[in-house]
Amino acid sequence: MRINPFVYGVIVVALFMGVIYGFQGAGVWSTSGKVTGSGERIAPSASDVNSIKGWMTLDQVSAAFRIPVEEILSAFNLPSDTPPSTALKDLESDTFDVTALRTWITEYKSSHP
């Protein structure tokens, strides 16, 4: 018995995609970088400013480094009504980016022990 090459191709692609979507649906496979392999949310580490990522929120950074959101907004001349749930990447402008935030937090921590 011979399998039609078209049917064989469809079966291979369906199997490949089925494995990926099956494991993602079961919560075993994540490629977002926002959770660990065990499903725990990734949060910035208070001991390492380089753990801050653009997808993280102002709230997460504020909580990890114990800096009020208002101080972060003020330091970068961002609107005071910016929701704490805003992702850092959504705030990027001429006056704010993740690298500048990391630098500012390092300086802030050294002057506020």
| Domain range annotation of the chain | 1-32, 49-111
For residue 94, pLDDT beyond 80: yes
pLDDT of residue 36: 61
| pTM beyond 0.75 | no
Question: Which has the higher per-residue pLDDT, 16 or 43?
Answer: 16
For the chain, the residue count is: 113
- Closest Cα to residue 17, out of 39, 9, 34? 9
Q: Phi-psi bin for 33: left (phi > 0), alpha (psi -120 to 50), beta?
A: left
Is 53 in contact with 59 (CB distance < 8 Å)?
no
What 3-state DSSP class applies to 113? coil
**Stretch 39-59: mean pLDDT:** 80
